[in-house]
Structure 1
Amino acid sequence: MAREGARPSYDPAGPDHALRTALQDLRTGRWMAMRTLLADTRQWWQWTQRTQVLAAAAAGTDVVRAWLAEEPGSGPATVMHARVCVERALRAQRERHRRTHELWIEAWDAAQSACHAAPQDPVPWVCLLALAQLDPEQRWEEHRAAAPDPMLPPGPWGLLAEAGRRDPYNREAHHRMLQFLYARGGSGRLAEAAGYAQWAAGQAPPGSALHVLPVYVRVERYRRDSGHDAALDLHWVAEDATREAHRALRSWFEHTHRAERSVPDLNHLAHALWGSLQFQDAARVFDAIGPYFTPPPWMYRTPDRDRAVEIFVQARDRCRAAADGFSTPR
């Protein structure tokens, strides 16, 4: 594979060219390309990913509402409506908007409708899981179900199980569970999230993106604790950090085809391997990334988030130089 050397940039579609075309159409207020794209999407992992990216782009528009008005019986349109409503509720919560609770209830109703309109689809259940983070006190009964393992805390386990019945090891569903655990707050809660990530990875088959979950938790711990203190780079060379990066490489990256790999997962894995000084393996992951940079986790390495791309390029160049030096006969 030819190496990508150009300066990378963030593209929510990543290498999914069909998704990029649908996004361009959506941004001009049209929905037909989105409809066609989703009709042609056959695998749940890709369906989950595409609907998430499309909803993020559509949340500030009425495009999906127009589609649903035109085709009120459409399952995909109903699912996309739920996606958009959830995205709006989560944004309102982040911005502490006064309509957060109203948007939350609207999103919950939309997700329930999607569950009925598309009973085999995991995404409506992923939507309900995403909304669980708006209830960190676990006031809703469905958010305090007993965990499948006694070492794990109560939470929206029933929602996760429903998503899993439709798409086992659904990547976004497990990330939404992590976000719920983060939202509960406190340093002890982060330990719960780490335990959950290890448990989920331990249940997953080779090739599952769940093997990368522990790497995400390590980034979250660094984000909360670092204060951008360079001394905390030791965080990444600790034995358990090195082991987590290595396991993600062996259990996920080496068992997947290029098209199946999430761009955020690739970026998190490259970052973890670089940080733990596993430069040769990191160079392989950087080659798989190509130009498809994602701001997290690189932006947590600098107080100036505009320098995230620069950090990425420096890490990529360092790893490639080390790999090339190792492979060159002396």
Structure 2
Amino acid sequence: MARDGARPVYDPAGHDADLRTALQDLRTGRWMAMRDLLARTTAWGQWTQRTQVLAAAAAGTDVVRAWRAEEPESVPAAVMHARVAVERALRARREGHRRTHELWIEAWDAGHTATRIAAQDPVPWVCLLALAQLDREVRWEEHRVTPPEPALPPGPWGLLAEAEKRDPHNREAHHRMLQFLYVRASSGRLAEAAGYAQWAASSAPPGAASHMLPLYVRVERYRRGAGPGAALDLHWVAEDATREAGHALDAWFAHTAPAERSPQDLNHLAHALWGALRFRDAARVFDALGPYWTPLPWAYRTPDPSDRARAVDVFRQARARCRAAADEHDRHGDP
């Protein structure tokens, strides 16, 4: 792979060429490539990732509805129906849409239906976990279950347990739990989310994406506490920050194959290692990313997080700095 300064590309499919093909078909209103892709997806981690990306693309279309109309007995189509319903409900909340509550209930019904139709699939339970963040006042009983450890807060632990039963350490399930805890946090305080991330990482086997969770919480803490555009340098060179970055590199990155790494995780790890001044380690992660990037967390290095062009520039500057350090080491070795 060429190591140059080329402008990176944002592509939800990342290195997954088969998913990219299905997305291209989906965007033209066709569902057969999506159906065929899901039919040959056998690993739960990849299944979860692919259904999530496909649902984000399908949420503004009628593609999944057309699929279900043609194949009403299709189990994957029922799961995708739940996925799309959840995506629409979450978008409605973000946009303050008047139909948010109605879409929420529709998504909850679709998720519970999918748990019965696809009994061994973790994704319907991940869908229900995703909806928990809409219950901002935690009125639903299933969102205030007693935690597995006293130091953790009440929450949708039963939903997480169902997802974990089907796919232990499911990446998206843990991120949905974090989102629920972010909503609970007030005044920028993220102690519960940080405690949860540390707990999940401490119980995860090598290679599990749960080892990345503390890095996401650290970015969220900065976003809430420091404000857009403020320097992240001191935030990331603190002893606990550098320890978390090193742990994620050793416990996750070192134990995963390229196809198992999500672009979001790679970007967060490269960002954390760069911020911790571990430039040569970060260069390895940048090389694993290849031509792809994600706007977060790089956008928080800019005065305006919505300015994607500025975020790309920050990414490129970080990549160039880290690769220069790696090249210098290759030429001269450690001093």
For the 8 Å contact 1:121–1:166, the answer to whether it is kept is: yes
Which of 322, 326, 330 is the equivalent residue of 2:325? 322
- 1:9 CA drift (Å): 1.5
For the 8 Å contact 1:4–1:287, the answer to whether it is kept is: no
Task: Using the TM superposition, name which of 199-208 and 218-227 deviates more.
Answer: 218-227
Q: Distance in 2 between matches of 1:114 and 1:226?
A: 41
Amino acid at match of 2:315: F
Q: Which residue in 2 is equivalent to 1:163?
A: 163
For the 8 Å contact 1:13–1:20, the answer to whether it is kept is: yes
1:122-137 equivalences in 2 (<5 Å): 122-137=122-137
Q: Deviations over 1:218-270 (max 9, x none)?
A: 00011111223544520011000000000000000000111111110000000
Q: RMSD in angstroms over aligned alpha carbons? A: 1.2
1:10-29 equivalences in 2 (<5 Å): 10-29=10-29
Amino acid at match of 1:182: Y
Task: Using the TM superposition, name which of 188-197 and 171-180 deviates more.
Answer: 188-197
- 1:90 CA drift (Å): 0.1
When normalised by structure 1's length, the TM-score is 0.98
For the 8 Å contact 1:273–1:282, the answer to whether it is kept is: yes
Q: Distance in 2 between matches of 1:327 and 1:226?
A: 36
Count of residue pairs the alignment pairs up: 330
Q: Which residue in 2 is equivalent to 1:204?
A: 204
Amino acid at match of 2:323: R
Task: Using the TM superposition, name which of 1-10 and 142-151 deviates more.
Answer: 1-10
Q: Distance in 2 between matches of 1:116 and 1:48?
A: 17
Instruction: Give the percent of matched residue pairs that are identical in Structure 1 and Structure 2.
Output: 77
Q: Distance in 2 between matches of 1:261 and 1:82?
A: 25
Q: Cα 1:289–1:4, aligned 2, differ >3 Å: closer, same or farther?
A: farther
Amino acid at match of 1:142: E
> What runs of 5+ residues in structure 2 fail to find an aligned partner?
none
Task: Using the TM superposition, name which of 148-157 and 1-10 deviates more.
Answer: 1-10
Q: Deviations over 1:5-52 (max 9, x none)?
A: 421020011110100110010011110000000001010000000000
Q: Deviations over 1:152-174 (max 9, x none)?
A: 00000000000000000000000
For the 8 Å contact 1:207–1:255, the answer to whether it is kept is: yes
Q: Secondary structure at the match of 1:98?
A: coil
Q: Which residue in 2 is equivalent to 1:247?
A: 247
Amino acid at match of 2:320: D
Q: Distance in 1 between matches of 2:47 and 2:3?
A: 29
Task: Using the TM superposition, name which of 317-326 and 192-201 deviates more.
Answer: 317-326
For the 8 Å contact 1:9–1:309, the answer to whether it is kept is: no
- 1:308 CA drift (Å): 0.6
For the 8 Å contact 2:188–2:225, the answer to whether it is kept is: no
Q: Which runs of 4+ in 1 moved over 6 A?
A: none
Q: Which residue in 1 is equivalent to 2:315?
A: 312
Task: Using the TM superposition, name which of 149-158 and 66-75 deviates more.
Answer: 66-75
For the 8 Å contact 1:181–1:189, the answer to whether it is kept is: no
Q: Distance in 2 between matches of 1:228 and 1:191?
A: 21
- 1:72 CA drift (Å): 1.1
For the 8 Å contact 1:4–1:290, the answer to whether it is kept is: no
Amino acid at match of 1:37: L
Q: Secondary structure at the match of 1:46?
A: helix
Q: Distance in 2 between matches of 1:186 and 1:323?
A: 41
Q: Cα 1:140–1:212, aligned 2, differ >3 Å: closer, same or farther?
A: same
Q: Secondary structure at the match of 1:42?
A: coil
Q: Which residue in 2 is equivalent to 1:258?
A: 258
- 1:187 CA drift (Å): 4.0
Task: Using the TM superposition, name which of 185-194 and 51-60 deviates more.
Answer: 185-194
Q: Distance in 2 between matches of 1:142 and 1:242?
A: 36
Q: Secondary structure at the match of 1:121?
A: coil
For the 8 Å contact 2:132–2:143, the answer to whether it is kept is: yes
Q: Distance in 2 between matches of 1:189 and 1:77?
A: 40
In the alignment, does 2:109 pair up with 1:106?
no
When normalised by structure 2's length, the TM-score is 0.96
For the 8 Å contact 1:18–1:37, the answer to whether it is kept is: yes
Q: Distance in 2 between matches of 1:139 and 1:68?
A: 33
Q: Cα 1:224–1:189, aligned 2, differ >3 Å: closer, same or farther?
A: closer
Q: Distance in 1 between matches of 2:194 and 2:232?
A: 19
Q: Secondary structure at the match of 1:293?
A: coil
Q: Deviations over 1:165-215 (max 9, x none)?
A: 000000000000000000113147511000000000001000000000000
